[in-house]
Amino acid sequence: MSLNPPLTAWRGKTVWLVGASSGIGRATAHALHVRGANVFVSARDQQALDVFAAEHAGAVTLTLDAGDAASVKTAAQTVLAAGPLDLVLYCAGYYREMRATEFDLDEMLRHQQVNYVGALHVLDAVLPYFVDRKAGHVSLVSSVAGYRGLPKSLAYGPTKAALINLAETLYVDLQDSRVGVSLICPGFVETPLTAQNKFSMPALISPEQAADAILNGWARGRFEIHFPKRFTLWMKALGLLPAALYFPVIRRFTGL
């Protein structure tokens, strides 16, 4: 049984992607544009958005800082004024590796502001509209890093865990409202964020492969869309281990 109404016919639908200047967001915006959707793309990088618009006729760019509520609200007003909004995808993200021995409060708060608070700003701007309309779809990009604690993920992991809980609670609360909710948990995807990693990333995939997996998940009405399965299923299995087993396994696997 599908948890959401399947999303398959994109022609003429309006979508807003926040965090679409590169990586998964950009690739998904491209895939939706190809399928005939009316695409609004937002990010802080105006130049990158302009390049996207030049390559995708009709796409509308709205520069914003997801951490700034007023900026998000202004952009949302432009999107909603253009006609019915069918889906919003929050894929803005920030990542710097951190261990507890190098605790940096400013970096911790920066992760929280972009990865989690930004999602709240978007929800504040569009959720009442979806609820009143009794239609629409909210999709949040989290990460397998949010499943359980991982080394070097002190700042990043907790924000992604928060998004997982947020999406689950949104679904519980909205299941009778006809507003769809989906949670996207990628493994390693080749993006500017993962380019910082100095270790070998298992099952690394391209942003285009990620976008295909997301659209396939939406088409199947999935709540959680995780990929690539050859990696994420292992992460899910590890997450089921009791703490006495989980921590030794992670230490052995990562060497940290």
- Higher local confidence (pLDDT), 105 or 196: 105
Q: Read off the pLDDT of residues 33-49 as tens digits, 9 standing for 90 and up.
A: 999 999 999 999 999 99
The Cα–Cα gap between 139 and 76 comes to 16
pLDDT at residue number 101:
96
Which helix (H) or strand (E) segment is 137 a member of? Answer: strand 137-141
Mean pLDDT for the stretch of residues 4-19: 96
User: How are beta strands 87-90 and 224-227 bridged, if at all?
Assistant: unpaired
pLDDT at residue number 256:
66
Residue 163 — very low, low, confident or very high, per pLDDT cuts 50/70/90?
A: very high
Q: How far is C-alpha 163 from the geometric centre of its chain's CA atoms?
A: 9
- Higher local confidence (pLDDT), 3 or 150: 150
Helix axes 229-239, 243-254, angle to 10 degrees: 140
Show the tokens assigned to 199. Answer: 């270790």
The answer regarding whether domain 14-254 maps to CATH 3.40.50.920 reads no
Of residues 67, 21, 66, the one with CA closest to residue 46: 21
DSSP string spanning 138-197? EEEE--GGGTS--TTBTTHHHHHHHHHHHHHHHHHHHTTTT-EEEEEEE--B-STTGGG-
Question: 0.85 exceeded by the pTM?
Answer: yes
Cα angle, residue 201 at apex, residues 51 and 142 outer, rounded to 5°:
60
pLDDT greater than 70 at residue 142: yes
Mean pLDDT for the stretch of residues 181-201: 76
pLDDT at residue number 194:
61
CA 102 to each of CA 76, 105, 197, 210: distance values in angstroms, whole numbers, following the listed order? 37, 10, 17, 32
Domain parsing of the chain, residue ranges: 14-254
pLDDT greater than 90 at residue 254: no
The backbone torsions φ and ψ at residue 153, rounded to the nearest 5 degrees and listed phi first, read -115, 30
Of residues 244, 223, 246, the one with CA closest to residue 236: 246
The Cα–Cα gap between 127 and 89 comes to 12
Active site residues: 156
The backbone torsions φ and ψ at residue 180, rounded to the nearest 5 degrees and listed phi first, read -80, 150
pLDDT greater than 90 at residue 198: no
pLDDT greater than 70 at residue 193: no
9-23, 128-142, 151-165, 190-204: least confidently modelled range? 190-204
The Cα–Cα gap between 8 and 25 comes to 18
